[in-house]
Structure 1
């Protein structure tokens, strides 16, 4: 199975210098829709629960993304949870994002994860 990002990845080196100095950076938007729309477009399961949390699973069930505004973790500053498991089911790595992280930034992080479907880095 091959996953592709919905928008092509453009490295910073390809952007003209003035584009970085004159832009407005992401500062707001904390709804889950930007992330869930991206993941749904890639065939992920997206399931809201009765507490307004949203749980997402990749098609191979090895990546979990949780938007957990009504959880104990959110009270500690962990609104977004991303867990990647290895082939044997053990946690390979995890990442959390707090409530101050714009949802579009989380979507960008996930788009980069989806855009690179191989587990190995070419520089190693």
Structure 2
């Protein structure tokens, strides 16, 4: 699986980190676009329902990403939902992110998930 970058990739060694006092941390962007753009570029299905919730599924249908601003879960502080299933369809794990989490953080989490070539950890 290949991750397609929407912006040029610069290895961390090439980027000069700003001094901590000058750094601007991700604090805003609470729309779905950074995530949906990433997933669409990877061939994922992305559908918006009538309530403006966004549902995304991986090409193999084993990963679901939901941006659910109009759901009961969002009222409880769970705006983003990520579910990964095993080949038999059982839930392997899930992760949620709240409304204060910038969409770029969720996109970074998903980019890491997409780029890992295997389900096995090298330390095992």
- Normalising by structure 1, we get a TM-score of 0.88
Residue correspondences, number:
121
Match of 2:53 in 1: 53
Query: Are the structure 2 counterparts of residues 41 and 16 from structure 1 closer, same or farther at C-alpha, using a change threshold of 3 Å?
Result: closer
The structure where helix makes up a greater share of residues is 1
What does residue range 1-124 of structure 1 map to in structure 2 within 5 Å?
2-6=1-5, 14=13, 18-19=17-18, 21=20, 22-124=22-124
CA deviation after TM superposition for structure 1 residue 61, in Å: 0.2
Q: Deviations over 1:38-84 (max 9, x none)?
A: 00000000000000000000000000000000000000000000000
Q: Flag structure 1 segments of 5+ consecutive residues without an equivalent.
A: none
Q: Report the aligned-residue RMSD.
A: 2.0
Runs of 4+ in 1 over 2 A off after TM superposition: 3-11, 14-20
